[in-house]
Structure 1
Amino acid sequence: MYVGIDVGTSVVKAAAFDVGGRQLAVEARPVGLALDGGRAEQDMDEVYGAVVAVLDALTARVPEPVELAGLTGQGDGVWLVDAAGRPVRRALSWMDGRAHALVGQWLADGTFEAVFRRTGSALFPGCPGPLLAWLDRHEPAALDAAASALYCKDMVFQRLTGVRATDVSDASMPFLDPRTRTYDNRVVELLGLTHRRRLLPPVSDPAAVAKTRGEGLPAGTPIADGPYDLPACALGAGVTAPGDGLLIVGTCLASLVATTELDLTGEPAGLYISTDRPGHWLRAMPAMVGTAALDWVLKTTGVPLADVDGLLAQTPPGAHGVRVLPYFASSGERAPFVEPRLRAELTGVSLETTPADLVRATCEGIGHAARHCLRAAGLTGSLAVCGGGTRSPAWMRLLADVLGRPLRIVEGEVGARGAVLAAAGRHGVDLDAAAWTRPAAIVEPDPARAAYYAGEHEEHLRRLGEARERVRG
């Protein structure tokens, strides 16, 4: 049995696979996210407790020996721990917006662009650089008490194994030089954090491997740390050839394209994620909000999630003129541009507007945001899609039409699957990657609807440009 652990923002999962990649069982536990005035924090003990709980439940259900485990999880944020790996304060989530003023300052004074030109990482409020700088100004005692500023999966890895480390994928945002695959101390200096440099965990390249200490998994189980959830999903979906892409329709709407070219001259946005293969990167455009935008609309209208497919069938493309700019995050947007003050817009609504119109317009808006991101990321090959949104066949047909291309639908626990494949590569275990990443279905676009949405996409970009001008004042 091979076990993949995926420590998500709202749900922690563990999945068991056999040698051929067949998913045997999944266990999941929800975890809290405390939202308050643009701040987003998580209880580390709750998150780690959920990891142990899902592993205990999974190994009880599938009592086969665990040959190997792989770990992945949400990226960015700041997870401050002491030398024993215990929390110093609650974790600051990647969704946290408290550092937006700092990012705005760095946009204005050139720091933002200088960092991008060195690392390929476009700073956004919820990434470690701005959050650490904010803490240094407002909560220096927390940094003084900490031994490490970790990423989520690295906190779990240290608790499971006692090893303090991160990998090149998590370190890519925002301190890693993608050419040397080591921290760029000039970037640390630019962000005013040289005196906090000791907090950055060692970058293991290749990813760290260790043996568990007996919580959740039997003591001595081999486990690998990383990559984090975006590149883990790319591995789990079989996206490794240059030009091929992955769209993750989850809480975050993440667009990734595999590449062997490192171009740090374009518009500063998104990031280059280093992979376990030197000279290979994922050009990532992780928009802040994906299914979370639809969740908000459903909650606001009182429509249950189970009704989405039926509602999409009740209103035509264009949603009777209702349009949504789906930038709902309190920290603004980070891809394929950075605009900390951008907010969602809902237009074309009248007394005749129905819940079906609102749902379709939101799904269309998310699709247009994805198309924008994928184009900026350089998609030229096939496109795989995974995430919670794939559970809606109607939304996937709509998405194929909006994107104007076929979708390879990858189901199951794709991040956990990728974590196992990464661990297997690190431990020298030979698994058939093609069998492990075979798509469940191919969704083709309708030519007439695709042509309609091509025009609508230009309108989306025009309205987005106007919205960006307004927030810039």
Structure 2
Amino acid sequence: MYIGIDVGTSTVKAAAFDSDGRELAVEARPVALALHGGHVEQDMEEVYAAVVGVLDALTARIAEPVELAGLTGQGDGVWLVDAAGRPVRPAASWMDGRAHELLDQWLADGTFETVFRRTGSAMFPGCPGPLLAWFDRYEPAALDAAATALYCKDMVFRRLTGAPATTDVSDASMPFLDPRTRTYDNRVVELLGLTHRRGLLAPIGDPIATAEAREGLPPGTRLANGPYDLPSCALGAGVTAPGDGLLIVGTCLASLVATTDLDLKGEPAGLYISTDRPGHWLRAMPAMVGTAALDWVLTTTGVGHEEVDALLAETPPGANGVRVLPYFAPSGERAPFVEPRLRAELTGVCLESTKADLVRATCEGIGFAARHCLQAAGLTGSLAVCGGGTRSPAWMRLLADVLGRPLRVVEGEVGARGAVLAAAERFGAALDAAAWTEPTAVVEPDAARAAYYANLYEDHLARLAQARDRTRA
């Protein structure tokens, strides 16, 4: 048995696989997000307890010995811990918006662009640079009490194993890592006013560094602290060849394209995620909101998730003129552009508009945002898709039409699967990656609908440009 652990933003999961990559069982626990005044935080003890809980439940269900385990989880944010790995304060989530004024300042004075040109990272309010600078200015006692500013999976790994506090090159990619040297860029640290806090940055561990679990898994289980959830999903979906891409239709709408070309001259947006293979990156455009936008619309209209497919069938492409710009995050948008104050817009609604129109317009808007991100990331090859959105066949057909290309649908716990594959490579275990990442379906676009959506996409871009202009006014 092989176990993958995925510490998500709202759900912690552990999945068991056999040696051929078949998913044997999954255990999941919800974890809470505390939202107040633009601050989005998580209780680290609750998150860690959920990890131990899902592992205890999973290993109790399956009697097979555990060959190895891999760990992944949400990226960005700031998870401050003391020398023993214990929380100093609640974690600031990647969804946090408290640092938007600092980011506005850096956008205006050129710091934002300078950092991108050096690291390939377009900062957003919920990434460690702005958050650490905010804490340094407004809550310095928390930084004084901390030994390390970790990322989510690193906090869990530290607690599960007792290993020294480290991170990997994928999590370190935003925003301090020089992607060429794979070390922290001290000039970037200086530009963000954090030189005196340099010691808080987690040491970047050797990609093959592993440890033995102390709880939640059988004693002595080999556990690898793998890449964070975006690159883990790319591994789990088989996206490793340059030009191939992955769309994650989850809480975050993430577009990733594998590349060996490091181009820091384009529009500052997204980031280059370093991988375990030097000279190989993922060009990432992780838009802030994916399924969370649809969740908000469903909750507001009193519609259940099980009704989505039927509602999509009730209204035609174009949603009878209803349009949604799906920028619902409190911290604005970060890909394929950065606008901390951008907000969602719903237009074209009249008394004749239906819930089905609102749902379809939201799904279409998310699709247009994905198309924008994938184009900016340089997609030229095949496209895989994973995440909670794949559970809706109607939405997958709509996405194929909006994107105008076939979708390799990879279902199940793709991030956990990728964490296992990363662990297997680090431990030298022989697993057939092609078999592990075989798509469950391929959804082809309808030519007529794809042509219709190509025109509607241009309208989406025009409306987005107007909204960005209003944001800056």
Q: Which bracket does the TM-score occupy, shorter chain normalised?
A: over 0.9
| CA drift at 1:426 | 0.4
Contact conserved, 1:38 with 1:330, CA < 8 A, in 2? yes
Alpha-carbon distance between aligned partners in 2 of 1:26 and 1:218, rounded to the nearest angstrom: 17
Q: Deviations over 1:225-284 (max 9, x none)?
A: 120000000000000000000000000000000000000000000000000100000000
Alpha-carbon distance between aligned partners in 1 of 2:367 and 2:248, rounded to the nearest angstrom: 12
Gaps of 5+ in 2: none
Residues 1:109 and 2:115 are matched in the alignment: no
Q: Deviations over 1:153-178 (max 9, x none)?
A: 00000001112110000000011000
Q: TM-score, normalised by structure 2?
A: 0.99
| CA drift at 1:205 | 3.1
| CA drift at 1:316 | 0.2
Amino acid at match of 2:465: G
Contact conserved, 2:258 with 2:283, CA < 8 A, in 1? yes
Alpha-carbon distance between aligned partners in 1 of 2:180 and 2:431, rounded to the nearest angstrom: 29
Structure 1 residue aligned with 2:207: 206
1:79-118 matches, within 5 Å, as: 79-118=79-118
Alpha-carbon distance between aligned partners in 1 of 2:196 and 2:65, rounded to the nearest angstrom: 46
| CA drift at 1:22 | 0.5
Structure 2 residue aligned with 1:373: 373
1:325-404 matches, within 5 Å, as: 325-404=325-404
| CA drift at 1:415 | 0.1
Structure 1 residue aligned with 2:259: 259
Alpha-carbon distance between aligned partners in 2 of 1:220 and 1:175, rounded to the nearest angstrom: 34
SS in 2 for 1:204: coil
Structure 2 residue aligned with 1:160: 160
Runs of 4+ in 1 over 2 A off after TM superposition: none
Structure 1 residue aligned with 2:301: 301
SS in 2 for 1:372: helix
| CA drift at 1:320 | 0.4
Structure 2 residue aligned with 1:62: 62
1:437-448 matches, within 5 Å, as: 437-448=437-448
Alpha-carbon distance between aligned partners in 1 of 2:174 and 2:426, rounded to the nearest angstrom: 22
Amino acid at match of 1:10: S
SS in 1 for 2:107: helix
SS in 1 for 2:351: coil
Structure 2 residue aligned with 1:143: 143
Contact conserved, 1:236 with 1:416, CA < 8 A, in 2? yes
Amino acid at match of 1:468: R
Alpha-carbon distance between aligned partners in 2 of 1:201 and 1:281, rounded to the nearest angstrom: 21
Alpha-carbon distance between aligned partners in 2 of 1:231 and 1:348, rounded to the nearest angstrom: 38
Alpha-carbon distance between aligned partners in 1 of 2:385 and 2:207, rounded to the nearest angstrom: 27
Residues 1:193 and 2:194 are matched in the alignment: yes
Q: Deviations over 1:3-26 (max 9, x none)?
A: 000000000000000100000000
Structure 2 residue aligned with 1:405: 405
Alpha-carbon distance between aligned partners in 2 of 1:208 and 1:456, rounded to the nearest angstrom: 48
Contact conserved, 1:245 with 1:382, CA < 8 A, in 2? yes
Structure 2 residue aligned with 1:78: 78
| CA drift at 1:207 | 4.6
Q: Please give the root-mean-square deviation of Cα atoms over the aligned residues, in Å.
A: 0.5
Contact conserved, 1:257 with 1:282, CA < 8 A, in 2? yes
Amino acid at match of 2:295: D
1:121-140 matches, within 5 Å, as: 121-140=121-140
Contact conserved, 1:168 with 1:207, CA < 8 A, in 2? no
Q: Deviations over 1:407-431 (max 9, x none)?
A: 0000010000000000000000010
Alpha-carbon distance between aligned partners in 2 of 1:194 and 1:64, rounded to the nearest angstrom: 49
Q: Deviations over 1:272-323 (max 9, x none)?
A: 0000100000000000000000000000000111000000000000000000
SS in 1 for 2:242: coil
| CA drift at 1:218 | 1.7
SS in 1 for 2:314: coil
Q: How many residues align?
A: 472
Contact conserved, 2:148 with 2:199, CA < 8 A, in 1? yes
Structure 1 residue aligned with 2:423: 423
SS in 2 for 1:130: helix
Contact conserved, 1:244 with 1:380, CA < 8 A, in 2? yes
| CA drift at 1:219 | 2.0
Structure 2 residue aligned with 1:48: 48
Contact conserved, 1:207 with 1:226, CA < 8 A, in 2? no
SS in 2 for 1:206: coil
Alpha-carbon distance between aligned partners in 1 of 2:178 and 2:65, rounded to the nearest angstrom: 39
Structure 2 residue aligned with 1:319: 319
Contact conserved, 1:74 with 1:152, CA < 8 A, in 2? yes
Amino acid at match of 2:57: A
Amino acid at match of 2:124: F
Amino acid at match of 2:258: A
Alpha-carbon distance between aligned partners in 2 of 1:62 and 1:237, rounded to the nearest angstrom: 25
Amino acid at match of 1:85: G
Alpha-carbon distance between aligned partners in 2 of 1:62 and 1:411, rounded to the nearest angstrom: 21
Residues 1:181 and 2:162 are matched in the alignment: no
| CA drift at 1:212 | 1.1
Percent of matched pairs sharing the same residue = 84
Amino acid at match of 1:189: E
Q: Deviations over 1:356-389 (max 9, x none)?
A: 0000000000000000000000000000000000
| CA drift at 1:208 | 2.7
Structure 2 residue aligned with 1:465: 465
